[in-house]
Structures are given as structure tokens and as C-alpha cells.
Amino acid sequence: MAPILEVRNLTKKFGKGKETVTAVDSVSFAIEPGETVCLVGESGCGKSTTGRMVAGLLEPTSGEVLFEGKNIKELDSTGFRRYRQSVQIIHQDPYASLNPTQTVRQILTAPLLRHNKVKNRADAEARALELLEVVDLTPARDMIDKYPHQLSGGQRQRVAVARALTVEPKFIVADEAVSMVDVSIRVSILTMLSRLKEQFHVTFLFITHDLALAKYFAWEGRITVMYLGRIVEDGPTQRLITDPRHPYTQALLSAVPEADPELAHRKRQIELREAEIPSLLNLPPGCTFHPRCPYFVPGQCDRQVPALEPLDVGGRVACPVRKHEHVPLLV
Amino acid sequence: MTKGKLDWQMDEQQNGKAPLSLQNVHVSYATRRGKVQAVRNVTLDLHAGESLALIGESGSGKTTLGLAIVRLLPETAQIEPGAIFYRRNGREVDLLKLDRNEMREFRWRDCAMVFQAALNAFNPVLKIWAQAWDTAKAHGWHDKEAVRRRLVELLEFVQLDPKRVIDAYPHELSGGMRQRVLLALSLLLNPQVLILDEPTTALDIITQRTIIKLLRKLKEDQGFTMIFISHDLAIAAELADRVATMYAGRIVELGASEDIFYRPRHPYTLGLIRAVPTVTGGFEQLFSIPGSPPDLIDLPTGCKFHPRCTFATDRCKVEEPELEEVGPGHTAACWHWQKVEEELRRNPLHRGVLSVLEAVSFNEEAVS
Ligand SMILES: Nc1ncnc2c1ncn2[C@@H]1O[C@H](COP(=O)(O)OP(=O)(O)OP(=O)(O)O)[C@@H](O)[C@H]1O
Ligand SMILES: Nc1ncnc2c1ncn2[C@@H]1O[C@H](COP(=O)(O)OP(=O)(O)OP(=O)(O)O)[C@@H](O)[C@H]1O
Ligand code: SF4
Ligand SMILES: [Mg+2]
Ligand SMILES: [Mg+2]
């Protein structure tokens, strides 16, 4: 199948002169229609920057974004508008993205009318009520007159999702969409998002720093791991979490706290050579993980940037030294 | 570094009493809307050398309970009724009866609370050394050289380079470094009990692991008695010997970590566990807890969880259950805890070794 979205050598630099940082460095991946891909990695590794370039909110310094096979830079204005509608982004903090002076009705009917998705106000209202049902904000009739501050964090996030759905997107970038929501209701939002995959054939790029959430949401999909602006490993979720090959992926998976005392005590402990993460302003040469990596090979890892190469077990990894080594995470 | 473990354990062996006992503790906040009942009827013994985790949703009263023990609650808060007995070297005091000065002594020498490593846990204009020196002086320790030696020793213990950190301002340090500095400072006066509020929240995964390792070292090598407060169940699973689940200000379940995670008996604890995935375990279907936490000013009647509980009956709407024994060293406050047990027999949790085996068998299939 042809990918719905593809990025090639996507790069984003911020700042000028000595202060330039490369927040995203030559990132390439393709996502098939209906697939769920999770982008994971620690704070500052470039996840949101990648997501914003995918959604057309930020212009890449170099590299391409292709949507439905077309380079978005080559689209005419109608084409570009259509692409911007087809790719919606949902942010971590719905409070910041919802206008506090508007009711849910206004928040939902305005885009429906503006983009001619409905004929008139009455249809817009009916569609808004339908969308509230879709995101499980029921009874919809009670919800539609509320202001954002009258809703809980989880409910606001549902409104943000409903608003994204007004323009009938094919692709949703969910950037830490449930990170601020209490654990007890997180799952119901994830379940609702998963339903959109089937109901509306929406393809997801799910951005999170939480590996447990990534595993759950993309169990049948893929995980892509970023470190300091580069992809270090990707692959089918079930392979990646049971048989990670990149030393950084292994370090992350072994470090992540587990909500299970037995697992917590049976995790392999991986000692990094250096605890602190380097600054983007002063990146190490070669593999940027080499100053911390327990498998560092002097003369090789600190000279050459490892290419992201296909793995026999599925996916890609950027570590020639360890790509064939299986390391059990539980001991 | 300390000799804490010994005096404590001897103490508890000699008089058979826990070093810290909370009895029927209530905390409320006065607000314009009314009285917020943040903590209700908490009775709890903290044993020497053990680590206890307080878990529960946002607003369940975890931080309030921690603040009550070190008496750092705001003026609008009232601790009544209740008693908090603290026992050391054969003496017993009710912390709630100590005056301001006595309490200040207690706070650093006997029990220290470590707040989330936000910048505001520090004085922003003081270098790390100055913060330590101020604390030491306030407790009558005026030997500058000795304080410095102690600080260096503690910074090394938390795996920081003292040379780099001691003359730094808090804002010059990363979140993970600040959290470790706070931990070091809290140990300055050799306390016996540590209360840690969200010790790893908002830190990156690898930094979280560094902190967890340090805390394990404090517990295992130094025998510290610790209370962890976290909304993150994983922190409890990683660090706690015993876990207390709080809901609407009360402890609704208390037991050994394994009991809470593998054999929960309170529907709320079960709900929490079914809402969080593991990473390296197998796949498990998750469920949310319906509804949202109650208004603490206008609490529901009966069991405070009943509006959200799938096991609730009419009795739950009128009568509030007390903690009762559901297994050895395991208590739960639910009229229908046997039904939770039955539910788990029908739909077991895929946790522990079982889920590990599932993950491994997948792996072998993938390789072959
Ligand atoms: N507008 C900007 N100007 C300058 N630097 C920026 C800008 N946006 C992002 N950056 C920098 O780019 C890097 C990547 O940031 P990004 O927000 O993409 O990370 P992230 O992986 O989403 O992190 P988090 O998990 O904290 O959200 C960071 O070092 C950040 O400071
Ligand atoms: N100073 C205060 N005045 C009034 N109400 C307060 C005050 N501090 C806390 N509360 C209320 O008391 C209840 C318990 O709060 P507390 O901070 O103890 O909860 P928590 O379990 O630590 O939550 P979180 O996980 O969000 O930190 C909440 O409903 C909170 O709104
Ligand atoms: S390339 Fe070398 S330094 Fe980089 S992760 Fe692999 S082994 Fe480690
Ligand atoms: Mg981000
Ligand atoms: Mg708290």
C-alpha cells in the first residue's frame, strides 16, 4: 500500500550562528493508511517538532513531507488547504488550545460552517451533537452549552478531539494527548481514539514520552524511538519492546519504572557510562549516544554517524555494533 | 553514613511499637465554599526500615497527609481530631502537641520531607552551599567545615560532582540534578524518616531510574524509613514494601506491595491497576474508572467510592465501610471485597511472572 504520510530527511534547525540547534536531524519514515505509529523519546528529542512539521505547522529547514504521495511544498493553495484539514494535531494541554470565551457549541460549529462541512446552523448543531457522542461526551445536549473551564481536563481533551474531527481529518498527530489526564480516565480517552481508527479510518501519529502508553496504544502498530533529534530505532511494537536492539532503546526500556513489583525487580540494570544527556548545542560526534553507551567502540562510534539500517526481526536500527544482539530485558 | 537502622530496629523490638503511628487523623481546609475534608480517619503504623507508598488520584489527600506529619500545612488547615505518635529511644511524643520550636527540631533531625524538584522548593538566590549552611545553622550546627564535609559526602552519595554543584544556583541545575540535591539536603541532619512527595514526577525516564536506584540504596543500605507519595503506581511497585491506596481522603486499602498489585481487594485499587499498562510485561486490556473523584466539600453518603463503583449495592450508598482484614497484613474498606476476589478469579490480572512468560514466548516465536 502507498503510505498516507512520508517524511524524507526531515531536518529542523532553530536559532542562529553559534546558538543553532538541530532539533530534528534527517528523519525519514513512512506511515501506511490505518497504521498507528508512536513516536517516543525523552524530553527535547524532537518529537513535537517532528509532529508540527508533519501537520504543516512548521516549515522544515530541509527535507520533505509527502501526504498521499504528494510533496506538500508542491501543492497549490487549494491542495495545501485540503492537506492542512486532512492532518489535524491534538495538543497536550487542551486548555491552551480552546478559546475560553466560547462554548462547546461555538468551538464545534464554527469550523463546520467555515469549511462548508454543513449547509446551515441547524445542520452544524446536529453534527456537533453527533461529534460529542463520538468522543463520549454525553449527554451531548448538556455538554454543548458549557465553557472550557466548566469541564474536567479529560472532558476538555475530548472537546479538542471533537473539534479536530469537524474537518474530517485522515491523519491525526496526537502530541502527548493524554499526558495531563489522570491515569484513571486516560484509558477511556485512548479507547475512544482507537475507535476513531476504525470508525473514521483515521491514521495516528501518537507522540508520547510514556513507553507504557506507546506500547498499549500501538500494540498492533509501530514505535519509533528518537534520541537528540535522530531516529535510533523503529519497528513493530511487539518486537521493539521484547527485543530492542539499539543500546539507547534498551536503556530506556530497562529504566522505565514498571507498575508491577515483580517486573520492577527483575529488570536488567543497564549502567550508562554517563548519566547526563548532552546538550543539543554541543552534540558529540558520530553516534550521539556514544558518550553514554555501554558498548561504545572507540574509533568507530565517535567517528561515524550510524545509518538507520533494516533489521531481520523487523524495523530499523542505527547501531552497527549491536544490531544483531538480543538482550533479554528481564533477568 | 548513618547508624539509623540500628537504634530504630532495637527500639521497635524493645517496646513493640512502631516509630510512627497515625491515629484517626483528620485534616480539613477552610475555604469560602466550605470545609474541604482532605484527609479523614487515617490510622496507620509505619515500621522501622520499611517503605510505604501512598497512591491515589489527584486530590485524594496524599500530599496533605504528608504535610500533616511534618506539620507544614497552610494556616487554613486544621488537623482535628487525631494523634501522630513519634517514638525514638524509648520516648514517645504526639507530634500534634509539639510547639513551633520542637516541631522545627523534629522536622529536619527526625523526619524530612522532600518536595517535588520544582525550582520553588529552593531559595532561588542562594547557592546550594548556602542553602545547606542556613539549614545547619538554624539547627544549631555551627561547624562550617563539618557541614561542608557532610554536604560533600551527601552530594557524592547522590552521584553528583560536589565541585560542580556546591557553588551552583538552583536554576543552573537540571531537574534530575535538583531532585538529587534536595534529597542530599534532606539527609543533612541525619533524619530517620523521609517523606518523598512525587520524587520522580516530571523527570525523564533515565533520570527517574537514577533516583529510584538512589532511594533503593537509602532503603537497603541505610535502613531508612520512607513514605513515598505518588500518583504513579510504578513508583510504588519499584520502591514500596507496603502500599496504601487513598480515595477521597481515606486509606481504603493497605497491604504488602505484592498483595496490592496482584491481589487487590478494593474495587478502587483494582480500577487503578487495570488502568495502567506495564512496558515489558505482556499485553493486557485496560479499563478506566468511570466518573470522577467526589467533591471533598460535599462528600457522597456511605462508601465514598460508590458512585463510581461497579460492585456497589444499596448498602454502599448508606453505610461507610471500615478497613477490615482481607488477608494476612492486608486490609480493605469495602463491603464487597469478596466479590473483587471472585472477579479476579474470573478475569485474572496478567501481571508478574506470568506476563513475563507471555512476553518471552512471543519473543521466541518472533526469533524462530
Ligand atoms: N521554536 C523553537 N525555538 C527554539 N528552539 C526550539 C523551538 N521549538 C523547539 N525547540 C528546541 O528543539 C528541541 C526539540 O524540542 P521538541 O519540543 O520537539 O521536543 P520534544 O521531544 O517534543 O520534547 P518534550 O517531550 O519535552 O515535549 C528542544 O531542544 C527545544 O528546546
Ligand atoms: N491549601 C488548600 N486549601 C484548600 N484546599 C486544599 C488546599 N490544599 C489542598 N487542598 C485540597 O485538598 C484535597 C487534597 O489535596 P492533596 O494535595 O493532598 O491531594 P494529592 O493526593 O496530593 O493530589 P495530587 O496527586 O494532585 O498531588 C484536594 O481536593 C485539594 O484541592
Ligand atoms: S553506535 Fe556505538 S555508541 Fe552508538 S549506540 Fe551503537 S554501540 Fe553505542
Ligand atoms: Mg513535545
Ligand atoms: Mg500531591
Nearest CA to ligand 2 atom 7: B29
Residue A240: burial class (beta carbons within 10 Å; 0-12, 13-18, 19+) = buried
Whether residue B231 and residue A183 make contact (CB cut-off 8 A), yes or no, is: yes
All structural domains of chain A, each given as residue ranges with its CATH number in brackets, are 5-105+166-242 (3.40.50.300), 245-331 (no CATH)
Can you give the three-state secondary structure of chain B, one letter per residue? CCCHHHHHHHHHHHHCCCCEEEEEEEEEEEECCEEEEEEEEEEEEECCCCEEEEECCCCCCHHHHHHHHCCCCCCCEEECCCEEEEEECCEEEEHHHCCHHHHHHHHHHCEEEECCCCHHHCCCCCCHHHHHHHHHHHCCCCCHHHHHHHHHHHHHHCCCCHHHHCCCCHHHCCHHHHHHHHHHHHCCCCCCEEEEECCCCCCCHHHHHHHHHHHHHHHHHHCCEEEEECCCHHHHHHHCCEEEEEECCEEEEEEEHHHHHHCCCCHHHHHHHHHCCCCCCCCCCCCCCCCCCCCCCCCCCCCCCHHHCCCCCHHHHHCCCCCEEEECCEEECCCCHHHHHHHHHHCCCCCHHHHHHHHHHHHHHHHC
Among A297, A308, A317, A325, name the best residue to mutate to test ligand 3's pocket (greatest count of ligand atoms within 8 A of Cβ). Answer: A297
Ligand 1 centroid to residue A11 C-alpha, Å: 13
> What one-character DSSP code corresponds to residue A34?
T
End-to-end CA distance of chain A: 40
Query: Which residues, in sequence order, are CB contacts of B126 under 8 Å at separation 6+?
Result: B134, B169
Nearest to B97 by CA among B110, B111, B85: B85
Whether residue A184 and residue B235 make contact (CB cut-off 8 A), yes or no, is: no
Ligand 1 centroid to residue A23 C-alpha, Å: 7
pLDDT of residue B118: 67
pLDDT, chain A, mean: 93
pLDDT of residue B37: 95
* ipTM over cut 0.85: yes
Residue A261, min C-alpha distance to chain B (Å) = 4
- Residue B31 beta carbon below 6 angstroms from any ligand 2 atom: yes
- Residue A48 beta carbon below 6 angstroms from any ligand 1 atom: yes
Residue type, B148: R
pTM here? 0.90
Among B58, B64, B116, B250, name the best residue to mutate to test ligand 2's pocket (greatest count of ligand atoms within 8 A of Cβ). Answer: B64
- Selecting from B210, B278, B287 the residue whose C-beta is nearest the C-beta of A263 gives B278
Ligand 2 centroid to residue B37 C-alpha, Å: 10
The three-point CA angle A209-A210-A214 to 5° equals: 105
pLDDT of residue B368: 40
pLDDT of residue B202: 76
Q: Which of A97-111, A300-314, B176-190 has the lowest mean pLDDT?
A: B176-190
* Order of strands, sheet of A203-207, starting from the edge strand that comes earlier in the sequence: A87-90, A171-175, A203-207, A36-40, A222-227, A230-236, A316-317, A309-310
- Residue A322 beta carbon below 6 angstroms from any ligand 3 atom: yes
- Residue A319 beta carbon below 6 angstroms from any ligand 3 atom: yes
Selected for mutation to probe chain A from B57, B160, B278 (highest A CB count within 10 Å) is B278
Beta carbons of A183 and B57 less than 8 angstroms apart? yes
Within 10 angstroms of residue B240's Cβ, the number of other Cβ atoms is 26
Residue A281, min C-alpha distance to chain B (Å) = 15
More confident residue, A200 or A184: A200
Ligand 1 atom with least separation from CA of A176 = 27
- Residue A295 beta carbon below 6 angstroms from any ligand 3 atom: yes
More confident residue, A94 or B79: B79
Q: Which residues surround ligand 5, an ion (CB under 5 A)?
A: B 63
- Residue A129 beta carbon below 6 angstroms from any ligand 3 atom: no
Whether residue A257 and residue B362 make contact (CB cut-off 8 A), yes or no, is: no
- Classify strands A203-207 and B330-332 as parallel, antiparallel or unpaired: unpaired
User: What are the grid coordinates assigned to A267, written together?
Assistant: 529488570
Cα–Cα dist B285/B276, whole Å:
10
Residue B233, min C-alpha distance to chain A (Å) = 5
Residue B194, min C-alpha distance to chain A (Å) = 21
Ligand 1 atom with least separation from CA of A41 = 21
Q: From the CA of A43, which ligand is nearest? A: 1
Whether residue B275 and residue A243 make contact (CB cut-off 8 A), yes or no, is: no
- Residue A296 beta carbon below 6 angstroms from any ligand 3 atom: yes
Nearest to B281 by CA among A164, A211, A18, A80: A211
Nearest to A258 by CA among B212, B162, B7, B214: B212
Q: State the pLDDT confidence band at A170, using cuts at 50, 70 and 90.
A: very high
Highest mean pLDDT of the ranges A135-149, A249-263, B155-169: A249-263
Nearest to B100 by CA among B81, B125, B75: B75
Classified as helix, coil or strand, A198 is helix
Which residues, given as ranges, of chain B have pLDDT below 70? 1-16, 117-119, 353-368
- Classify strands A222-227 and B51-55 as parallel, antiparallel or unpaired: unpaired
Can you give the three-state secondary structure of A100-150, one letter per residue? CCCCHHHHHHHHHHHCCCCCCHHHHHHHHHHHHHHCCCCCHHHHCCCCHHH
Residues of A with Cβ-Cβ distance to B355 under 8 angstroms: 260, 263
Within 10 angstroms of residue A14's Cβ, the number of other Cβ atoms is 13
pLDDT of residue A3: 95
Instruction: Look at the block and give the residue holding cell 476538555.
Output: A156
Q: State the pLDDT confidence band at A87, using cuts at 50, 70 and 90.
A: very high
- Classify strands B193-197 and B225-229 as parallel, antiparallel or unpaired: parallel
